[in-house]
A and B are shown apart, each in its own frame.
Chain A
């Protein structure tokens, strides 16, 4: 069985065209990854700004086309699938974006983002069934339907807005959820509830999740596997336990060393910044570690 979603040696280059005076910018350099169908996992794609993590996410969503390599959905190249297949792809691979406010039309009640996809993709046979589905999805992400429906986006908190987005993705019974920094715009105290909802979708409904983030602590908490990106290159990947607990690449080591842990007795910044940065430039990719 082919993977649900697979990136095969994708590279994305911006700028540097025939008449361009700008230099080429290789945002994603020869990266491969796949999401298994039989054993759906949560895969974290982690890196700092400029690492290419969002570009990789856009390639996986089919919003951007790779310069070389291919993204395959059920074994078919995304750039070659038919309209009908593309529509199916749009339902089965659901994005959740960073800013939970930007995804709403401020003039419409939140019901709109929940009911319109149900209608568009003909997920329900009747109005009653649609209401039932929406209520179920909201409860799944820890929201009370009566307190959520009928409100305008600004009447909900950031955490609630983002959970409605998770519920919306869930309604379409997707096989993959691709969440690009879903919690970086919400308060630290609310992150746990959102990530918990995402994690439950994976465990209980078998939805594969790509979790794009700059935050290694939350990545460690919810993911099974992690990929560390640095300037468009995959420098280290593997099981989250191995990569976080025993990082092998100097860049991963520096990242973990710089995380401010909420424990005054565990001091950050033990590594020598200059020496480590010199090592990063020359260090080869570590590759996959199980």
Chain B
């Protein structure tokens, strides 16, 4: 398939945060290869926020894990490059990659409630990563230093310092997610991957947590990749949006342009399927079922969903400033 070689037209102005080139993640199954991520390319400057959206099964979480190089068998990274800080992370050996995590790329996982260790105090979980990456050199941190670092990290995510002495079960969902954010930002990473960080939270808490995450990311001048299916959250939080369908990026662009004039039919339907508070009866479902990724043919996957014949090659076209789509001649006017 055609891929975007450069998503941003002018990367020279500010430093590149992350550059993903033609990334492929495949699952080997007895029935054939499942191409969960099929040649995805995008790049993000430092301090920029990008959201990757799509239905379940579109490959967005698989992509997030691949960016951290945490893909698990039977999945494997089948090709491409993930360049952070001038180094291709897919070239590193396991030990080098382990040191990159948290230090260069950090993950805010989906459902922090399950990512914290239930039998460890919060302060030790915050320090764990720092010890492991030997922030203080070979010498052990003094007690005072530890207390100081933990307090600083907790205050940065709007938690009171006394949380340090607590266990995860004593915290609410929102507080646990804040701890996860504190851990992810503890080593001031260049790139933060946030995989549906607030999908289990109530709206008021969600807004609060996202504002904290945004403030920290801005302070660190880090790039953030937000994975999610909530187009509303994307519209509120992100500067850029990438829409995924069947493991491929079908549209990438600035949030305001994409929401105002979506060019790919799938993006159009995604936005239309959202209920709003302004006008009633204006939301419709997307017809058909998401594509099965097993033995998916080359070419436009969305054509298959809406019962059109799919052309073999679909060009990646620049439709406006920083705005790219997979321009399929058979389905591009669908749902207009």
Contacts and interface: CB of A to CB of B under 8 A. Distances in A.
Interface of A: 48-49, 157-159, 187-193, 196, 214, 216-218, 220-221, 244, 254-256, 258-265, 267-269, 273
A263 B262 CA distance: 12
8 contacts: A187-B56, A192-B284, A193-B285, A221-B283, A259-B203, A260-B203, A262-B235, A268-B207
Contacts of B202: 48-49, 214
Given A192-B285, A254-B204, A264-B236, 15 more contacts: A49-B202, A187-B56, A189-B273, A190-B286, A192-B284, A214-B202, A216-B277, A220-B280, A221-B280, A256-B277, A260-B207, A262-B271, A263-B235, A263-B276, A264-B255
B277 A259 contact: yes
Interface string B227-253: 001111111110000000000000000
Interface string B81-108: 0000000000000000000000000000
B261 to A, nearest CB: 12
B230 A260 contact: yes
Determine which residue in A158, A254, A269 has the highest number of CB atoms from chain B within 10 A of its CB, and name it. A269
A95 to B, nearest CB: 23
Given A259-B277, A262-B232, A48 B203 contact: yes
Q: Which of A157, A191, A192, A254 has its CB near the most chain B CB atoms (within 10 A)? A: A192
A261 B256 contact: no
Interface string B37-58: 0000000000000000001100
Interface residues of B, number: 37
Contacts of A214: 202-203
Kindly list the 6 A-B residue pairs having the minimum CB-CB distance in the complex, ordered from nearest.
Answer: A260-B232, A193-B285, A48-B202, A192-B285, A189-B286, A217-B275
A158 B275 CA distance: 19
Contact of B204 (A48, A188, A221, A265): A48
B259 interface: yes
A190 B290 CA distance: 10
A191 B285 contact: yes
A157 B56 CA distance: 11
A261 B286 contact: no
Contacts of B235: 260-264
Contacts of A188: 55, 229-231, 270, 273-274
Interface string B281-320: 1011110011000000000000000000000000000000
